[in-house]
Amino acid sequence: MSNTFLSEFLLITNIHTVLMIFLLIGVFLIISKMSKKLKFNKLMITSIFIGLILGIFIQAVAKFPDDPTSITWINEVTAWYGLFGNGFMDLLKMIVVPLVLVSIIRVIMNMKDDNLGKLTFRSMTMFFVTTAIAAIIAIVVANLFKLGTNLEVVNSSNEVREIVSLPSTIRGLLPSNPVQAMAEGNTVAVVIFAVFLGLAIRRLRRKYMDIIKPFIDLVEAFYKIIVSVAITVIKMMPYAVVPLMASTIASRGVKSLLDVTDFILALYISVVIMFLVHIIIIAASGMNPITYIKNSSKALILAFTSRSSLGTLPVTMEVLTDNLNVDLGTASFVTSLGSNMGMNGCAGIYPALVSVMIANMAGVQMNFTFYVMLIIVITISSLGIAGIPGTATMAVSVVISGMGMASYFPLAGAIIAIDPILDMGRTMLNVNGAMTAAVAVDNSLNRNNKKESKVA
Q: Tens of pLDDT along 242-278?
A: 898 888 888 877 666 666 789 999 999 999 999 999 9
**Residue 176 corresponds to which amino acid?**
S
pLDDT for position 384: 54
At residue 387 the predicted structure's pLDDT band, cuts being 50, 70 and 90, is very low
pLDDT at 56 over 70: yes
C-alpha 132/C-alpha 374 separation (Å) is: 10
pLDDT at 371 over 80: yes
Contacts of 362 (CB under 8 A, 6+ apart): 405, 408, 411
At residue 99 the predicted structure's pLDDT band, cuts being 50, 70 and 90, is confident
Residues in the chain, overall count: 456
Alpha helices in 403-418 (DSSP H): 413-417
pLDDT for position 257: 66
Query: Tens of pLDDT along 399-432?
Result: 887 788 877 877 776 777 677 788 889 999 999 9
Query: Tens of pLDDT along 211-229?
Result: 999 999 999 899 889 878 8
Q: How many domains does the chain have?
A: 1
Expressed as residue numbers, the domain containing 414 is 2-455
pTM as predicted: 0.75
At residue 113 the predicted structure's pLDDT band, cuts being 50, 70 and 90, is low
pLDDT for position 451: 42
Exposed / middle / buried, residue 156 (Cβ in 10 Å: 0-12, 13-18, 19+): middle
Least confident of 86-90, 289-293, 320-324: 86-90
Cα-flanking dihedrals φ and ψ of residue 427, to 5°? -65, -40
pLDDT for position 73: 92
Query: Tens of pLDDT along 150-176?
Result: 754 444 444 444 555 667 766 766 788
Alpha helices in 174-186 (DSSP H): 178-184
> Where residue 112 sits, what CATH number does that domain have?
1.10.3860.10
**Per-position b or e across 263-288, b if 16+ CB within 10 A of its CB:** bbebbbbbbebbbebbbebbeebebe
